[in-house]
Structure 1
Amino acid sequence: MTSYLRPLTRYPLFQIPCIFLLIFLLTTLLVWFLGIGRPTVAVAIALDLNPSTYPQSQFNAPGSVLNQEILAVSAYLEKNNSGILQRPNLVTIIGFASIPRQLTTGFKDDSQLLTQELNQTLANPSLIRDLGGGTDLDLAIREGIRLLNTIDDRCRELLLVTDGIASIAPETIAQARDNRIRIHAIVIGDEAEDIRMTSLLTGGVYLSVPLEADLEKLFTNRFFNEFNNNWRWVLLCLGLTWMALMWTLVMPLDRWIFQGLFKLPLNFAGRLALSNALFWTFATPGILIGIYRLLDLALPFTGSC
């Protein structure tokens, strides 16, 4: 019983892990709440402007699918310059039907300038003729890839919005994967299997939504947060916190659980408690790597995307 005379807080084996536990826990909270480690991002937004997205002879009519797309883009641009990000996303906007066309010139992080260019392009009477009819999604994706390939120092995201079902060439998907471009898609209406597989194979997000879906919320909540999250650093901090917790629990497990509750011999209880901490020390990195791969996240310190 003499080993029970000193409180746990007097032992370095409890004190040191406890200090690290507090440090890692505080770091996790700071990373989470302050958004530390968010990537810098370039986003190409491709909007389906084929005639099925607006009433006949009423281009961009209020309430039309096309109008909802434009409002969603405006909401994204507004959030991009709201001060949440230290370095706002670089954004360019593409419109497509049979033929893709840039609705804004180049990549910019100035939402006001992007909105001005977008509105000017949409007001151009020749736009409908330039885009053609139908939906060539493969060509639109290739155009998005071409534009994103001009950006070297940022994570590259391509966001598609369409109400059509179209085939996508395997070569286009391979080109996106080779250039580490994630393809995300919002399909308004019926499921589109080719588009879903394209998003899956490039690590993007695929959503099939009804006509009455709130595109503004999808753009500003689902996709803005997807593009600008710092999950890989949060997960790293959580992993370090967990390992520190396991070492902090060595003496409580030894004294209160293994010896006190299960009446195990002193030496065996100590080895068991240490084995538990060692197991989680070696297992946690492997578990984290598995989670990174599952979520298609880059490992910390290996790149920004």
Structure 2
Amino acid sequence: MAEARTLAMSESEEIVGRPSMKAPFSVGLLKAAETRENIVLLTADLGKYTDTIDFRHKYPERFFNVGMAEQSLVMTAAGLSKAGKISYCTTYGTFATRRAYDFLAIACAHSNENVKMFAGNPGLTTGYGGTHQANEDLALMRSIPNLTVIDPCDATEMVQVTQMAADIPGTVYCRQLRANVAVVLDPDTYRFQVGKGHVIGQLHDDTKLGFVSTGFMTERAIDASRHFERAGVSSAVFHSPCIKPFDTNGLLRFANSVDRLVICENHVTTGGLATLVVEALYEAGLSRKLLKIGIPDRFTECGSLPYLQDRYGLTTERIIEQTDTWMRA
């Protein structure tokens, strides 16, 4: 058996069982930049690891590396926005949110600046431990007024979000999926919409099980849902790429059509998607049996991604196992 290992920052996992796309952020950004000459790209010395190389080569005069200084990254982006630019930024999610929180809140969101932060290493997509795993970033970002918060599912959504971020008013925080990214949603038929969720699968009058998911957990929720369908348990998925604005009405329609809800997120289970769902159900007076699958309230350790995702229940197999046990209890 091959030994599991922690990936170096320039490496990426092989995608097994689905087609993939290389550097979808770069693909979407280059499409946007072709028609928007005021788009600029900034990085905090992490361009190699956030898929910025193609843009840097094509538009060197529109690319800025501010060095290992995330607060300066955000302030420079805000200043360029005031000068009429649309400032795309890349760094890791832990650095964007923990080190530059006040700068994103006041210099950007407070002034509705055209700053689009694409934050890598969301949750357990890196094996580099608590210093690099942005496990609580969605909770932090959704608490800031005037901020749009997005957690894309796959390469299809990553390309679309990146391309259209220039047209989303004000400041955007988007979790970045980098390197080789699975293609889960059909690029010919799927269209990302700000503030809208998407039902995947068929809802019936007797649908028993509803998965509510965001980010890469939607891929796993879809596979788990299909497993239960094959086992005779009617099931569907509500994919919510937008954490803010959240599609409360869509979620409630979905919840009204199922008996039980399983919430799947690559994030701590407080402050993110699970909290949004619980708040929506409570405020609507709707009661549903509910299972939360996500990262516990702790700093997660270093390790290989297969090990970490299995340990914390984020794989398809562990979602199925946890859901089956819960339904039988």
> If the length of structure 2 is used for normalisation, what is the TM-score?
0.31
**More helix by proportion, 1 or 2?**
1
Q: Which has the larger radius of gyration?
A: 1
> If the length of structure 1 is used for normalisation, what is the TM-score?
0.33
Higher relative contact order (CA 8 A, sep 6+): 1
